[in-house]
Structure 1
């Protein structure tokens, strides 16, 4: 059966107090609307139709870039005359048969299983509403069910119009529904705006369904969090914390040790082996894989990286693989205060210490760069010791060049290796050297000025101001 998903995302989001369209504000590293579209794509939708309005061009461009393979379509609601008017704009993009699932672009956490249950309740024949049980349903439309047949919904009563008895109902309407497409098109064409706001309300189709003898049913969301919308920075922050707590609990149930789940942020995908331990205030972005017994110290940021078993990432380390990724080998020790950039490939038992930066470089097993160093565009062999303060000068102002440091090399402190250059196996570079030519295997390379000592030299003293007469 054909499935069309319609997502309402035209609103300005005035209470966000932002120039950015509301649906592009990020939750867990992805735009609110992207969460909804990804869920819809996971349902196998034939078409994902987003209704845009405020900031339409930027919304559409952002989603096409984020989901290039998804069956996206966009229609615009200009001006914005209510929820019914919004869905009317999608009618030309809908199929003739099947089910239309209507979602909200600012409600990002609806679970796939909830959406599937709603679609199943519709079955291509019924109008199915997504509802939720709330401790405080203030502001929500109330679901009025048939006392004799609890499966049947009689009406949605807006909070402001509800009687005291109806306000006592704790089942609220979420604004999402699944509708037989053939009925939806007919009902949308019959909507009227004879109300105080002069708007076309999508909820008016409930009465139309009743009049046409189409059953109206409701299915409950699993929890309140998955149907919460975002209208302000405060609500966005609250939803972020709820979502992060859910992710943290899922990881802990799988065996991950989180020092404090309230101080944990996952903005992508995190895969963990056994006995992984993560300290406080760590942020994981993109795709991150942690092998068995990996330890992540406090205040680390890790993006697009694979960290093998037994590695230790000490506090305040920043790993950002971007598109190229970063790989950390088994038993490696990284940090504290280290930075691994795209293309860093570290072998087993590699040591990268405090204030060391590695970019587009491979370090073989047992190599060490323990202090205040830079390795860019370098190939480093096994057991190399790379001294404090040393750098590879890989950029000539126009092009980048590679440095090759073969196995068992010792690089002294405060050296500059001007690429392209090769330091042969077992060679030594004396501290303070600027190396511009290859050093043969086993040789000592030294390039620095001769030390001069001056006898009788006196350190200059400060001039003292003259005393007033």
Structure 2
């Protein structure tokens, strides 16, 4: 059976009060539309079609992907009008699954239930029972009961007071026989309060033709909640984060407060991981067994090995190159690891130390107020407070090579490209411009002068 997936993403989102198209607003670090598209990756669709309208070029550029097709709805004259634009792109006579680009948290299992129930033969509506279904189209069932065949959907603005009392609402998502869907949407009328072409009017057409119309209930409210305002977006964000926090705790992760955690990507955790409050994880992050993350850390695209401790207020951003932290390493507080930082086992990176595109071997330490950029640092190196690698000459980056057991004193400048041999010592306050051989002491600073009888200037009155 051929499966088409159509995602409606043409709306302006006036209540968002933003120049950004509604479907591009982010939830957990990804756009609403990208959440829906990612969900469909696991479905065996022959066509995936996104209907764009408001901000079409921006939306299409943001989510463009191979085998993803776009059609435009200009102007936007209702949901039925949107599907009319997609009809020429529909393939085969199987099933068409219709989703909303501003309903980001629908699960693959729910979408699969709709497709399976449709089977290319029935019109299947995803419904939800709500205490307050204001704004939802109401499901009208035969005999007025809660489990009879579906007879129609009445939009909230067109519903009578009795119909508005119905608790079962239509979520805006359905699966329909493709051939019948093409026929039905071609017959739609805009004779209603809004003057729009309602997709929901196809229910009455299906009933008239004797096509089964089924209502499949969503597992929970969160899966079908849409975003129309910043308030709703924030509510959905917290629902999503709470769900992820519960999954982590079920897997054994200790969270100091599940309400103060944000995962904006994929977080994989080993055994006995502890995460304190107000931590943000973005991109791909893995935490090995026994890792402890202090409060107020931001970690993006990083691998942190077993037993490492990330102290409070540490910022780790691997971007495309990634960051690796070895077993038993101690990082922070107030440390910054940038792309390409590769730290071995038991490395110490202390407060206000920045590491970028550098490799530090086992046991190396930079405990205070230092910068290591484009450097290779050997085992057990002690890198002094206030020291930096001067890796940029104004046009190109250069590397610094520091051998094992080197001691770099405080407030040193190592001007790359340069090599410091194993076991060498760099005297505090030195600016090093030439290679230092293994075991040597190198000092490069002005001679200290002491002047007796000197009088400090006084301010003129």
Q: TM-score range by the shorter chain?
A: over 0.9
Taking the aligned partners of 2:193 and 2:308, their CA distance within structure 1 comes to 64
More deviation in 102-111 or 194-203? 194-203
Does the CA contact (< 8 Å) of 1:151 and 1:217 recur in 2? no
RMSD between aligned residues:
1.2
TM alignment of 1:151-230, pairs within 5 A: 152-230=149-227
Taking the aligned partners of 1:161 and 1:398, their CA distance within structure 2 comes to 67
Partner of 1:32: 32
Does the CA contact (< 8 Å) of 2:157 and 2:193 recur in 1? no
Taking the aligned partners of 1:317 and 1:413, their CA distance within structure 2 comes to 23
Partner of 2:43: 43
Partner of 1:16: 16
Does the CA contact (< 8 Å) of 2:293 and 2:310 recur in 1? yes
Partner of 2:85: 89
Partner of 2:114: 118
Tell me how far 1:168 sits from its aligned partner.
Answer: 3.1
Q: Aligned pair 1:397/2:397, yes or no?
A: no
Tell me how far 1:164 sits from its aligned partner.
Answer: 4.3
Partner of 1:259: 256
Tell me how far 1:231 sits from its aligned partner.
Answer: 0.8
Q: Aligned pair 1:338/2:329, yes or no?
A: no
Of the three residues 331, 349, 361, the one matched with 1:352 is 349
TM alignment of 1:196-345, pairs within 5 A: 196-345=193-342
Tell me how far 1:166 sits from its aligned partner.
Answer: 3.1
Tell me how far 1:197 sits from its aligned partner.
Answer: 2.5
Tell me how far 1:169 sits from its aligned partner.
Answer: 2.3
Taking the aligned partners of 1:30 and 1:255, their CA distance within structure 2 comes to 26
Taking the aligned partners of 2:199 and 2:16, their CA distance within structure 1 comes to 24
Taking the aligned partners of 1:162 and 1:287, their CA distance within structure 2 comes to 47
Tell me how far 1:180 sits from its aligned partner.
Answer: 0.6
Taking the aligned partners of 2:349 and 2:456, their CA distance within structure 1 comes to 40
For the structure 1 residues 370 and 188, does the alpha-carbon distance in structure 2 shift closer, same or farther, using more than 3 Å as the test?
Answer: same
Structure 1 spans left out of the alignment, 5+ residues? 465-469
Does the CA contact (< 8 Å) of 2:413 and 2:431 recur in 1? yes
Partner of 2:102: 106
Taking the aligned partners of 1:167 and 1:201, their CA distance within structure 2 comes to 18
Taking the aligned partners of 1:289 and 1:149, their CA distance within structure 2 comes to 47
Tell me how far 1:149 sits from its aligned partner.
Answer: 9.4
- Residue 322 of structure 1 aligns to a residue in which SS? coil
Partner of 2:125: 129
Per-residue Cα deviation, 1:7-47 (whole angstroms, up to 9, x for no partner): 11111111111111111110100011000111112213222
Structure 2 spans left out of the alignment, 5+ residues? none
Q: TM-score if structure 2 supplies the norm length?
A: 0.98
Taking the aligned partners of 2:118 and 2:279, their CA distance within structure 1 comes to 43
Q: Aligned pair 1:459/2:449, yes or no?
A: no
Taking the aligned partners of 1:56 and 1:157, their CA distance within structure 2 comes to 29
Count of residue pairs brought into register by the alignment: 460
Per-residue Cα deviation, 1:246-276 (whole angstroms, up to 9, x for no partner): 1111111111111111111000000000111
Taking the aligned partners of 2:391 and 2:425, their CA distance within structure 1 comes to 20
Partner of 2:409: 412
Taking the aligned partners of 1:167 and 1:377, their CA distance within structure 2 comes to 66
Partner of 1:467: none
Per-residue Cα deviation, 1:60-83 (whole angstroms, up to 9, x for no partner): 00101xxx34x2000000011111
Does the CA contact (< 8 Å) of 2:152 and 2:201 recur in 1? no
Tell me how far 1:331 sits from its aligned partner.
Answer: 0.3
- Residue 261 of structure 1 aligns to a residue in which SS? coil
Tell me how far 1:458 sits from its aligned partner.
Answer: 1.1
Does the CA contact (< 8 Å) of 1:41 and 1:48 recur in 2? no
Tell me how far 1:151 sits from its aligned partner.
Answer: 5.3
Q: Aligned pair 1:140/2:133, yes or no?
A: no
Taking the aligned partners of 1:29 and 1:180, their CA distance within structure 2 comes to 35
Per-residue Cα deviation, 1:215-251 (whole angstroms, up to 9, x for no partner): 0001111111111111111111111111111111111
Partner of 1:450: 447
